[in-house]
Chain A
Amino acid sequence: MLKNLNSKHIQRFSYKYLPQFPISPNSPKLGFSRSQIANYRSNFPTTIMSSSKTIVLRSSDGETFEVDEAVAVESQTIKHMIEDGCADTSIPLPNVTSKILSKVIEYCKKHVETPNADEKVAEEDLKSFDADFVKVDQSTLFDLILAANYLNIKSLLDLTCQTVADMIKGKTPEEIRKTFNIKNDFTPEEEEEVRRENAWAFE
């Protein structure tokens, strides 16, 4: 129903179709911040109304992201908020920065879209997406773990924790300390005692 389109509608719908136009390779695949919308608004015409429900997420630094409800409810936290009726205007996520939130949205979107395709192909596609997704610096990786935990997205939490576990596997304690910058606060006597306590693990 093309009722009275006010500026809010125009803004919402114009960027819904923006992802199809070639933009810079580093921009997120879904979820455009208001500043980006402002840039494109003048260049692209208004478009047809979209019928799927969308949810607005607000990161800790004030950026808003509009996502399909199906993508947003990958997060159990957001799903419960919607069910409890707390999602009329926007959902504030004070623990997640815009950088991390856009990555999380990218992950959720990929995992929601893919099951439509053929089974085997979809599985391989998802696996390689996941492998590339976690090739980030340590700081981002830990932020993703905390975000996945807060937003309660089981598959993302498993993926990121598995990645850190792979960084621990096969390393001696000294190597692990080096990788993660862990300060060894043990006195030599204490360390000796710990090694003796669990001698079987250090054989």
Chain B
Amino acid sequence: MSGTRMGDRLSSLPDDLIHKILSFVCIKHAVQTSVLSPRWRFIWTSMPYLNFLSEDFPSLPHFAKAVTNVLSRRNDQIEVASLTLSLHGRVSVAFVKRILNYAFSHNVQHMTVTCLIEKKIELPLSLFCSRSLKHLTLVGSVDRSVASTWELPALTTLHLGYVTLYKDEDDDDDDEDEYEDEDDEDNNIFSKCPNMKSLTLDGCKIMGSNGLSICHPQLSNLTIENGYWGLNFFYVVVPQLKNLTIVNCDWVHLSAPDLTSFKYRSGYSLKFYTDSLPSLEEVDLCIRKPCKTEISAIVGILQQFHRVKYLTVNLETIEVLCSSDELISNQPSPFANLRSLKIHPVDIQLAGQAQKKVVVSNEVKSYLLGGSPSASLTLVTREVINYIMKDLIIICHASYILL
């Protein structure tokens, strides 16, 4: 693909498109382009994207040298639109602080900081203080003093992955007198991010605390996955919440009256503050390892979804409902608006029940579908999945042999 006939199309691109191309290239290569021709000499200095990935460098001292050189030779007048920082080894907090402060002083809008090391870096939340930052992704860090909150007035999207927050228990006593309203002000670390629309907490931990509460007036998308929230509770009180995803997170107390879409993959311990969810349209419910003793809790959860139009439930939950019909046998169906009901298995290999044919009892069917005669039902059985899996395994084996 050489460009012998047509001349140099790459250099004739406008600067901002060359910057876009260089943003996909390691910073070292981007600086190397300075030697291509006089046109290219200073292009990299006005690049608004900074990607500092320590895995691109043979050692941490090399990485540190590169960062120092880039920050000092870069055109100071140019803003930083986005900063990506990936740390694959032990670097000092002062070093990280220097990079972050450079970005903040240049009105950064997107920031992604990833720390991929065994022993996490301590990055106190107070480091992230910027009036311009809109999107922040932070993976793999530790903060030992959550009493200080994030001050990010422009933030709309926040993604925290594998972050450990230490709640300082001694602070609780001091703060109680200062805050008149919400007594979970102490637990509310997002109070100074008023414009936040999307929040994702993936694999985060709160240590030294009873639990966590998320109370936010503007939040519309919330995703919580694989978290360990302490021993007692996890309150979600978000009046404007539209989309909620909860995976592997138990003991959630939920108040989200405006909810339209809900995906839940966890245990039966889900509690609702509000009696109904009037805007709810879509629910994907998967209760892990349900058992007979929890049927009333499960039925209670299903009743909360009475306005739903598209419902997906896992087969295990339906089987538990079928196994003891007393609770639902004479009850009217809570679903009046249902358009489609999908039932699919999650556990494909069930010990000792592999050959058992699944039959959804009539009582359960009428409980689920009785109120919506026009609803469609899709039932995926384990046999079907097993057939598909067998085909896939054969294909995989065949490709191994060919290799």
Residues of A at under 8 Å CB distance from B?
137-139, 142, 145-146, 149, 157, 161-162, 164-169, 173, 176-186, 190-191, 194-195, 197-198, 200-203
Contacts and interface: CB of A to CB of B under 8 A. Distances in A.
Most buried by A among B10, B11, B20, B39: B10
Interface string B35-78: 11111110000000000000000000010011001000100000
A148 B38 CA distance: 27
B32 A202 contact: yes
A145 B13 contact: yes
Contact of B24 (A145, A161, A173, A197): A161
A198 B43 CA distance: 13
B8 A180 contact: yes
Given A173-B33, A182-B40, A200-B62, 9 more contacts: A138-B6, A157-B20, A180-B8, A180-B9, A180-B10, A186-B37, A198-B35, A200-B66, A201-B32
21 contacts: A137-B1, A138-B2, A138-B6, A145-B13, A146-B17, A157-B20, A161-B20, A165-B24, A165-B25, A177-B37, A180-B9, A180-B11, A182-B8, A184-B37, A194-B41, A198-B31, A201-B28, A201-B31, A201-B66, A202-B32, A203-B62
A22 to B, nearest CB: 30
A182 B24 contact: no
Interface string B1-22: 1111011111101000100111
A130 to B, nearest CB: 14
Contacts of B32: 173, 198, 201-202
A179 to B, nearest CB: 6
Nearest to A145: B17
Given A157-B20, A164-B21, A200-B66, A181 B2 contact: yes
Contacts, number: 106
B29 interface: yes
Given A138-B6, A161-B20, A179-B2, A194 B25 contact: no
Contacts of A180: 3, 8-11
B35 A195 contact: yes
Given A142-B13, A180-B8, A186-B35, A169 B26 contact: yes
Given A167-B1, A200-B66, A183 B8 contact: yes
B340 interface: no
B10 A142 contact: yes
Nearest to A177: B36
A166 to B, nearest CB: 8
Nearest to B38: A185
Nearest to A166: B24
Given A161-B17, A197-B73, A198-B34, A181 B26 contact: no
A125 to B, nearest CB: 17
Closest 7 A/B residue pairs (Cβ): A165-B24, A181-B3, A201-B31, A142-B9, A180-B10, A161-B21, A161-B20
B26 A183 contact: no
Interface residues of B, number: 37
Interface of B: 1-4, 6-11, 13, 17, 20-26, 28-29, 31-41, 62, 65-66, 69, 73
Contacts of B2: 138, 178-179, 181
- A-side interface mostly: helix
A11 B63 CA distance: 62
B146 to A, nearest CB: 35
Contacts of A145: 13, 17
Contacts of B23: 161, 165
B73 A198 contact: yes
A164 B10 contact: yes
B292 to A, nearest CB: 33
A165 B69 contact: no
B17 A169 contact: no
Nearest to A167: B1
A201 B7 CA distance: 27
Contact of A181 (B8, B17, B28, B65): B8
Contacts of B13: 142, 145-146
A176 B11 contact: no
B40 to A, nearest CB: 8
Contacts of A173: 32-33, 35-36
B29 A182 contact: no
A33 to B, nearest CB: 25
B388 to A, nearest CB: 12
Nearest to A180: B10
Contacts of A162: 24
B15 to A, nearest CB: 12
A169 B29 contact: yes
B6 A139 contact: yes
A128 B2 CA distance: 24
Contacts of B41: 194
Contacts of A202: 32, 35
Contacts of B31: 198, 201
Nearest to A148: B17
Nearest to B65: A200
Given A162-B24, A167-B1, A201-B28, A139 B9 contact: yes
Given A161-B20, A198-B73, A181 B37 contact: no
